[in-house]
Amino acid sequence: MLTFPTDFPQPVIPEVESGSYKEDFKDSTVSSTTDANYKITRARASRLPGTWSYSWRGVPDADYKKLIDFWFAVGGTAGSFYFIPYYGPYAGVQKVVRFTAKGDWQPYTEGYRGSITFEEV
């Protein structure tokens, strides 16, 4: 299985721009309310997969090409690969993920800007 390029630039996470990094975990709860107004809950699945979304600014042409080459190598959103989250409680912990989408990448004078979301498999 392939590994997301470890030499790809880390995203810049400014503290004032909360939209540049997001970590989320799915809720697997199934619930129903009885006639007596009691709520019954249970887990739908035994695991709760995570998602990690990052935004980048100023990615050089060579690194952007590396990202696109990797995108094609794993088959876009179809293939899974190893990824190590950059921030949060799972930073440094290898996960098996897939792309949810490549994101919207555009060239600017300082380099490419764009985002990627990784979904745990």
Range list of H helices, 1-121: 61-73
Q: Please give the backbone phi and psi of residue 26, each rounded to the nearest 5 degrees, phi first.
A: -65, 145
Whole-model pTM: value is 0.76
pLDDT band at 16; cut points 50, 70, 90? very low
The tens digit of pLDDT for each residue in 61-72 reads: 999 999 999 999
Nearest to 101 by CA among 31, 47, 54: 54
What does the mean pLDDT of the chain come to? Answer: 85
